[in-house]
Amino acid sequence: MSHRESPVLIAPSILSADFLNLGRDIRMLNQSSADWIHVDIMDGNFVPNISFGMPLLEAVGSIAEKPLDVHLMITKPEKFLKRFKELGADMISVHYEGSFHLHSTVMKIKELGMKAGVVLNPHTPVHVLDAILPYADYVLLMSVNPGFGGQKFIDGSIEKVRELRRLIDQQKLQTLIQVDGGINTDNAHLLIAAGADVLVAGSAVFCDEDPTRVINQLKGLDN
């Protein structure tokens, strides 16, 4: 049984969308039960891949009717926060591993009027969050190594969700737990039971012939 009374939030990652039909895919998300639109920004430096940047975010933001959840996999994320806000970001998450001054970056995201998330790579233990947790609106636990869609879910991630749930509940915080990577209709219920609040799914949604149905299934609305 989940700690949540409301259904888990679903944030489809447009990294796996059809870029030749991106407008169609965003409108599909607008019509679906998806809660946030997850946008993966990669710089080829922090992660071994380059995804897309400012012009694409701006285009998506011009038609998106759901909050834009921007996951920054870039070095020096603090340099670009204002620009991402101007382009339509509603929330921004930055990696613990990529931020020398994480507290300052989190505060800057919030001062700009956005929700702030802190991301942990699969090898980073949850206890490093102790000091930053009260300041973060959400924590994103990576359940694959960041950089690519379509990778296999790392099983140990479920225990990390449980551990983080305990930490958040012990401190009586409202911080949301988001999980990202390799999530599908087979493992979503395990993450929800462990205490996840938001599930990111890229390939499971966009590589299916009926993305709307998958979003409903991930949310537990359609079995």
- Provide the binding-site residues for ligand DX5, judged by CB under 6 A: 13, 15-16, 38, 40, 71, 144, 146-147, 149-151, 180-183, 200-204
- Contact between residue 106 and residue 118 where contact means Cβ atoms under 8 Å apart: yes
What letter would DSSP give residue 143?
Answer: S
Among residues 158, 152, 119, which one has the least CA distance to residue 40?
Answer: 119
149 binds, among Zn ion, ligand DX5, none (CB under 5 to 8 A by kind): ligand DX5
Residue with smallest beta-carbon separation from ligand DX5: 202
Q: Which of residues 18 and 169 has its CB atom nearest to ligand DX5 in the complex?
A: 18
Provide the CB-side half-sphere exposure for 174 (13 A, CA): 3
Smallest distance from ligand DX5 to CB 42, Å: 7
Dihedral of CA atoms 184, 41, 48, 207 in degrees, nearest 10, equals 30
Binding residue (CB under 5 A) for Zn ion from 25, 69, 180, 197: 180
Angle at 153 between CA 14 and CA 100, to 5 degrees: 70
Smallest distance from Zn ion to CB 127, Å: 23
Smallest distance from Zn ion to CB 149, Å: 9
Q: Which of residues 3 and 145 has its CB atom nearest to Zn ion in the complex?
A: 145
Catalytic residue positions, numbered: 40, 180
Q: Which of residues 130 and 217 has its CB atom nearest to ligand DX5 in the complex?
A: 217
Site string for Zn ion, 57-76 (x = CB under 5 A): --------------x-----
Q: Can you tell me the distance from the alpha carbon of 44 to that of 143, in angstroms, rounded to the nearest whole number?
A: 20
Q: Which of residues 3 and 96 has its CB atom nearest to Zn ion in the complex?
A: 96
40 lines the binding site for Zn ion (CB under 5 A): yes
Burial call 71-95: b when 16+ CB within 10 Å, e when fewer: bbbbeebbebbeebbebbbbbbbbb
What letter would DSSP give residue 48?
Answer: S
Residues forming contacts to Zn ion in the complex (CB under 5 A) are 40, 71, 180
